[in-house]
A and B are shown apart, each in its own frame.
Chain A
Amino acid sequence: MEYVIEMLNIRKEFGNFVANDNITLQVRKGEIHALLGENGAGKSTLMNVLFGLYQPEQGEIRVNGKPVKISNPNIANDLGIGMVHQHFMLVEKFTVTENIILGREITSGGRINLKKAEQAVREISERYGLAVDPQAKISDISVGMQQRVEILKTLYRGAEILIFDEPTAVLTPQEIEELMQILKTLIQEGKSIILITHKLREIMEVADRCTVIRKGKGIGTVNVSETNPNELASLMVGREVVFKTEKRKADPKQPVLEVKDLVVKDSRGVTAVNGLNLTIRSGEIVGIAGVDGNGQSEFIEAITGLRKATSGSIKVNGKELTGLTPRKITESGVGHIPQDRHKHGLVLNYPIGENMVLQTYYKKPFSKNGILNFKEIYSKAKKLIAEYDVRTPSEYTLARALSGGNQQKAIIGREVDRDPDLLIAAQPTRGLDVGAIEFIHKRLIEQRDRGKAVLLVSFELDEIMNVSDRIAVIYEGKIVAIVDPKETNEQELGLLMAGSSRKEAGEETHV
């Protein structure tokens, strides 16, 4: 069998941390080859080696059987390797065509021939079923379209082998479906694809073969037709993975969070939370289900003091929280795993160890008489890093250098360790692999079993149904229904989230 790409025994070190340890990846011509691994396993590193962004310490790369040395991305381009990065590299103010030809302009007499370029872009777009408008401005098109522009960019540069680094992380379910279709078309047109993902469903759907890496080591390559999601998951994390999180029946006791007639305005001054009522008891997990933009973020920001409530009351353990500072609220026993870990959750330029005490740095033993005790801070951090399996070269590494899943685990460790009576988890598993998701769900349930109240907000219905003891459906800033996850299904929830009344939703789904 002919291989288009062979990466043999690749080793890549960062300082004395080995990100890729003797990994071998062989891609056949015309296949979709999935690269599967947990967050921080070394997938992006391996692809950056292939794309010429990193130089490996050891190993050989062959393209079409010939050994090559890829010392920068231009060489990769010339070899027909194209990469669609997770974070797009597009000029917002430029049109699709201008972005695509950037660096490879078609000129006539020293001037850019936009007409000809547009024609070329249109042709490629049609051939691969991308349906991109060459004249549209990047700032005007959706994220899914922008991704297609990235794909076009690689095709325009003559890529034969396309690398996709977690392409579905930023897409809506609809867009994911379309992307899968595009991948299939690309293969029909003779391209080869390396698809990085940790979503098993996608691998089962489109990939031909799958190479698994775990903690920087190659675990092996399997034919997708001969495997199943369970096997893939256990190859990836190195043990059995339970998809359906096991949990005992909830045993709710006294109310911890009591929200009454809460009204909150968003940044533009529009009412986002509009008379919301909700009670969460100790020992239960309440999941908030809702379409993005129905007041979820504002609701959480109001509880945690990041945003002022216009009216209404928020009580935790009977104590009124409205009007208190975030510090006072934290001290009243509220923990918060924020939705945006880079914006709120971490100071990326601080070592991960110092991020572990982001709310407690001023307390003993971390601070005495206004002076920080770094020994205590880092020994605490070290303990949490071990306990929550945060993969990092050391506790002194900047938070910025950690992969998303490990950043998230660090935040969860920090918040859970403070032992709050109310734990708010906003999309705690976004962008994480199954191993990490399982880990986080277990921790949430553990907190519940220890008699804490947990508020979970997520756009993933699977997660809501799986973890919650009660589901509160939010619509236009109100809780419109409270349902038991055992007695509902995705259709009913979907209808409720779209604003149908309980009765209507019930009638439509329970006939």
Chain B
Amino acid sequence: MSKRLKNILTPIIALLLGIIVGTIIMIVTGYNPLDAYAALWEGALGNPYYLGETIRQITPYILAGLAVAFAFRVGLFNIGVEGQFLVGWLASVWVGLAFHLPKFIHLPLAIISAMVAGALWAFIPGLLKARFRVHEVIVTIMMNYIALYVCNYVIQNVLTNGKERTGNVPDSASLASPWLQSLTQNSRLHWGIVIAIICCFIMWFLLEKTTRGFELRAVGFNQDAAHYAGMSVNKNIILSMVISGIFAGLAGAMEGLGTFGYIAMKSSFTGVGFNGIAVALLGGNTALGVFFAACLFGALEVGALNMPLAAGVPNELVDIIIALIVFFVAASYIIRVFLERISKKEAK
């Protein structure tokens, strides 16, 4: 069995195990698993509306997954994608509301502002890590809380007069597309998916093909050797956090300019950034892997909404199944050992 095949089989087996254990749980709790999975499938891909919603949900997951994966490839654990996502969302809406410009300037400007905001938010932990060796996990977790409350403050006190949500961004800063909506029976599908797919390509190209990517990966594998080879470890650490933050900020713009068109106060985190960790893990931290993993997560999330209606299965059960899949992916080491056993037997 080749290494590549193993890398592909591992998440698939994790998925299957999650489904099997989910089935057992449903049987034990008295729900019909066949009906439930049929409802899940139907709810994710069953008609154009559901398909549109699924793709819409996939979009921020791809970008959040890329953000986590990119930092990870350089040896950093960016837990702060959630915070970078929020400030990106805020920045995109802010710029969307503040200016009146032609679309071909306004939309790019709003998107770029989200990228800059995410980048800045990630730059701080990157700088602290590079300069003072402060662990990025701790700093990024703290930055998440700062982002959450700063956003709420700005929404209530700067963007509005004490309201809980902003108005909608004008058409000139919107990613929404009447054409895509009409294709999908008025789902909230928007142009963001194109940006997300381009970003997958950019991540792959940047890491695998460019001189900078060679340095970034080298730092991720062995900082001492990178230093010896004349690469600036600190510069690459900061850069990787900044690029990671750009992806995360873009994920925020998808919500701010696409799905919702506004930003509302939040009592807690959205979970997009944290799901990004699971997506990156499931996707093996590669661009293509992240793409497929995000598709899976998006489909599960959207399909799940149909389960209570069509099969009477509570939402929470779906969350449990998703959690199980993540669990089995995290435990992929066990699956890998198992696959190795099989391939050894084959060799005999």
Contacts and interface: CB of A to CB of B under 8 A. Distances in A.
A55 B218 contact: no
A349 B221 contact: yes
Interface in B126-183: none
Interface in A34-56: 55
A128 interface: no
A55 B321 CA distance: 40
Given A350-B218, A359-B229, A359-B230, A344 B211 contact: no
Contacts of A325: 230, 232
A358 B218 CA distance: 9
B211 A362 contact: yes
Question: Which of A306, A344, A359 is most buried by chain B, counting CB atoms within 10 A of its CB?
Answer: A344
A354 B217 CA distance: 12
A358 B225 contact: yes
A344 B347 contact: no
A306 B227 CA distance: 7
Interface string B224-236: 1111111110000
Question: Which of A327, A328, A336, A347 is most buried by chain B, counting CB atoms within 10 A of its CB?
Answer: A347
A457 B213 CA distance: 34
Interface string B337-348: 000000010011
A280 to B, nearest CB: 21
Contact of B210 (A71, A344, A347, A372): A372
Given A55-B347, A327-B230, A348 B210 contact: no
Given A55-B347, A327-B231, A371-B211, A343 B224 contact: yes
Contacts of A343: 222, 224-225
A361 B211 contact: yes
Contacts of B221: 347-350
A326 B230 contact: yes
Nearest to B226: A347
A346 interface: yes
Contacts of B348: 55, 71
Nearest to A366: B211
A356 to B, nearest CB: 12
A310 interface: no
B218 A347 contact: yes
Contacts of A330: 230
A345 interface: yes
> Chain B, interface size: which category?
20 to 34
B103 interface: no
A55 to B, nearest CB: 6
Contact of B225 (A71, A304, A344, A361): A344
Contacts of B227: 306, 326, 344
B214 A354 contact: yes
Contacts of A358: 218, 225, 228-229
B214 A372 contact: yes
Interface string A321-349: 00001111111000010100001111111
A345 B225 contact: yes
A64 interface: no
A377 B218 CA distance: 16
Nearest to A361: B214
A110 interface: no
Nearest to A357: B214
B209 interface: yes
A370 interface: yes
A367 B210 CA distance: 8
A202 to B, nearest CB: 32
B266 interface: no
B332 to A, nearest CB: 18
Contacts of A331: 230
B211 A347 contact: no
Contact of A372 (B211, B222, B226, B230): B211
B100 interface: no
Contact of B222 (A326, A347, A367): A347
Interface in B167-223: 209-214, 217-218, 221-222
B180 to A, nearest CB: 34
Given A367-B211, A371-B211, A348 B222 contact: yes
B46 to A, nearest CB: 43
A20 to B, nearest CB: 15
Q: Lowest 8 A-B CB distances belong to which pairs?
A: A327-B230, A344-B228, A358-B229, A367-B211, A349-B221, A326-B230, A343-B224, A347-B225
7 contacts: A326-B230, A328-B230, A329-B230, A344-B228, A346-B222, A347-B218, A367-B211
Given A306-B228, A350-B217, A370-B210, 10 more contacts: A71-B348, A326-B227, A327-B232, A338-B228, A343-B222, A347-B226, A358-B218, A367-B211, A372-B210, A372-B213
Interface of B: 209-214, 217-218, 221-222, 224-232, 344, 347-348
Interface of A: 55, 71, 304, 306, 325-331, 336, 338, 343-350, 354, 358-359, 361-362, 367, 370-372
